[in-house]
Structure 1
Amino acid sequence: MTVHAKRRWRVMIRIHQEACERNARLLDKPFIARVEEGLTPCMSVAVVKGDELVYQLAHGRPTFSPGEGRQIGPETAFNVGSITKVVTSALAVKLMESGVWSVGDPVRRYVTEYPFEDVTLGHLLSHSAGHNKLPGASPARGEMKAYLQGVYASLEREAAPGERALYDTNNQDIVMDMIERVTGEPIAGWARSVLFEPLAMNRTSYDSADYAEGEYVLPCSQDNGMEEMRLDKRAPSGGTGLYSTALDLVKFASLFLTKGRYGGEDVFSEAAIDFMLRESTAGKFAKTPVMFLKTEADRYGCFGDLNSPLAAGHPAFSGCMLMIDPAYDVAAAVVTNSQKLHGHWRNYKLLMNLIMGAVT
């Protein structure tokens, strides 16, 4: 069964046709050149200004194989890697709106197996829990709970909570575990009901089993440009397991430009949106509760020179970038399956410069 067959269709994002045509003249050629030059086998891009779509492109094939006959389209879903963390963290904020928890709550209040009493939800969201980074893993379907039990048994203290940031996918996998325990639902179903359906994100899911064969592509290995089949049919993950399209991602990103409203409905409160755009680590790590912040220093190096210091967003190992710039009322998603592109974050900077130069 395909993703869209499981969901009810709702209001679609508004399309500014004149702006789309103008921006296509400015952006199609340089974006397609990235594909033709071999930086990525395929690319899908969507840009919004406020609540209107002002650019969209889908181009290329899923692999670099000369015999590859498939073409991607705007509805082709990609594994969006660490952009998953943004969505999982936003779901945690959704539970703050419901009065379920606070960023200052200890993780052990919700996950008794977690070994440290002084680590809070906020520490996990900002990757500043102070525990060691464990080797990355992609548990098979049905094995995530056992995997997390192993994580809880293996964590060791390296720093005091809040002392330093150590980026680790396991942080958002633990947040996912917390979400599933308090909601009593798998994250794939709960996210669909509270976020994906209200936003008409009809091609987005934490579970690749929601897609039929050929409806999604996997990240390509950096050396030979073929899809990494080891990543297929993995367990839903709060850190890297989301599948989505550029268009669906900018529907989500548009919330940060419209004070939480989509299609005339409140998906998040204005206060929650402000909270998710605000630096949350007293300036230490340039991070909001859900995303990286550019700031004047641009410590992450994935934002465009033309982005304002208020820009927020997140890249992904699979060659994807989500960017929100409230100062210019612009949000963009560049979605690829190229670990080669991700290998040099300057690539994101150049792509963001292209977008900002065209749409502003």
Structure 2
Amino acid sequence: MDSLRMIENWPVPTAAAAVVRRDGSLAGSHGPQAHAFRLASVTKPLSAYAVLVAVEEGALELDDPAGPEGSTVRHLLAHTSGLAFDEHRAMAAPGNRRLYSNAGFDVLAQTVEKATGIPFAQYAQEAVFAPLGMADTLIDASGRSPAGAGGVSTAADLARFAAELLAPRVLDRSTLAEATSVAFPGLSGVLPGFGHQRPNDWGLGFDLRDHKAPHWMGGRNSPESFGHFGQAGTFLWVDPVAGAACVALTDRDFGPWAAELWPPFSDAVLAELDH
């Protein structure tokens, strides 16, 4: 895909991108597909997937208590537990505000570990990465907020995860549909890097495109698109209407450069897929 060559002009040392079709086939790739990148918050969809596997396995339920008083697993996945960004301190009552929280994903990891008796990084490996053939993906348990921002992966591996999101095999389709629908509708909040959004719709571990403006996805992305971006200069989106997903990984932290270049890149990818 010619559109993927746009990453050559990004002001980053290293970049890799891939596009996946609905049938799981690779529509195109560019850059070093086996290069390991820090994912930062693109870790969250991976961790959320592991939590959802634990739910399907019966180890826990979405409405089990977890986090601050009155909060549940569902609240934590949807950033509505009330926990602060990176502190285990309640800033609001559960379900009242969309407070983006790494701390919430720490609590999710602890909840899965308690329910399964398996360290979360190992559980994610066994439940998600191994079944999808993501041999070069891991959650680094040594850093701050491993489940929220400690992922390391490659464009090739995230393309495999993107294929799963387009046509799930690890999760039941109904579980993924719930995870990519609005949880706790109508809540406002800050989309990191893009300011206050009314509403700031979110699924269970996934940022929903909806009609947010500004946003890191493109204007051509359907409102049904979902995904995540990371402070490490990384993103993954899935557009079920277009029947495609896109991964872009870099080794330069997110900043104005990314907010400017990512939306037109996504638009170019979708325009090329339309032809």
TM-score normalised by length of structure 1: 0.68
Choose which of 92, 95, 101 in structure 2 pairs with 1:168: 101
**Larger Cα-atom Rg:** 1
Is the contact between residue 7 and residue 16 of structure 2 (CA under 8 Å) also seen in structure 1? Answer: no
- Kindly provide the amino acid, as one letter, of the partner of residue 82 in structure 1: S
Q: Aligned to 1:272, what secondary structure does the other structure show?
A: helix
Report the Cα distance in structure 1 between the residues aligned to 2:123 and 2:272, rounded to whole angstroms.
37
- Kindly provide the amino acid, as one letter, of the partner of residue 118 in structure 1: G
1:56 alignment counterpart: 29
Report the Cα distance in structure 2 between the residues aligned to 1:124 and 1:48, rounded to whole angstroms.
29
Report the Cα distance in structure 1 between the residues aligned to 2:4 and 2:83, rounded to whole angstroms.
44
Choose which of 23, 27, 42 in structure 2 pairs with 1:83: 42
Correspondence 1:33 to 2:9: yes
Choose which of 219, 243, 248 in structure 1 pairs with 2:152: 243
Please identify runs of 4+ aligned residues in structure 1 that moved more than 4 A.
340-344
CA pair 321-48 structure 1, distance change in 2 beyond 3 A: same
2:203 alignment counterpart: 288
2:84 alignment counterpart: 132
Offset at residue 238 of structure 1 (A): 0.4
Is the contact between residue 76 and residue 104 of structure 2 (CA under 8 Å) also seen in structure 1? Answer: yes
Q: How many residues are aligned here?
A: 261
Is the contact between residue 85 and residue 172 of structure 1 (CA under 8 Å) also seen in structure 2? Answer: yes
Choose which of 236, 257, 272 in structure 1 pairs with 2:166: 257
Which deviations, in whole Å up to 9, do the C-alpha atoms of 1:179-209 show, x marking residues without a partner? 112121122221121111111101101138x
Correspondence 1:177 to 2:91: no
Offset at residue 133 of structure 1 (A): 3.6
Q: What CA RMSD, in Å, does the superposition of the two structures yield over aligned residues?
A: 1.9
**170-179 vs 343-352, which moves further:** 343-352
Report the Cα distance in structure 1 between the residues aligned to 2:151 and 2:114, rounded to whole angstroms.
19
Q: Aligned to 1:164, what secondary structure does the other structure show?
A: coil
Is the contact between residue 238 and residue 246 of structure 2 (CA under 8 Å) also seen in structure 1? Answer: yes
Offset at residue 351 of structure 1 (A): 2.0
TM-score normalised by length of structure 2: 0.88
Q: Aligned to 1:315, what secondary structure does the other structure show?
A: strand
**Matched ranges for 1:1-360 at <5 A:** 23=1, 26-34=2-10, 39-50=11-22, 51-58=24-31, 73-107=32-66, 116-134=68-86, 151=88, 155=89, 157-207=90-140, 234=143, 237-258=146-167, 260-261=168-169, 267-284=170-187, 285-295=200-210, 297-299=211-213, 301-341=215-255, 344-360=258-274
Is the contact between residue 44 and residue 335 of structure 1 (CA under 8 Å) also seen in structure 2? Answer: yes
Is there any run of 5+ residues in structure 1 with no aligned partner, and where?
A: 1-22, 59-72, 108-113, 136-150, 209-232, 262-266
Is the contact between residue 6 and residue 265 of structure 2 (CA under 8 Å) also seen in structure 1? Answer: no
Which deviations, in whole Å up to 9, do the C-alpha atoms of 1:121-165 show, x marking residues without a partner? 111111111233446xxxxxxxxxxxxxxx4xxx2x332211111
Offset at residue 282 of structure 1 (A): 2.0
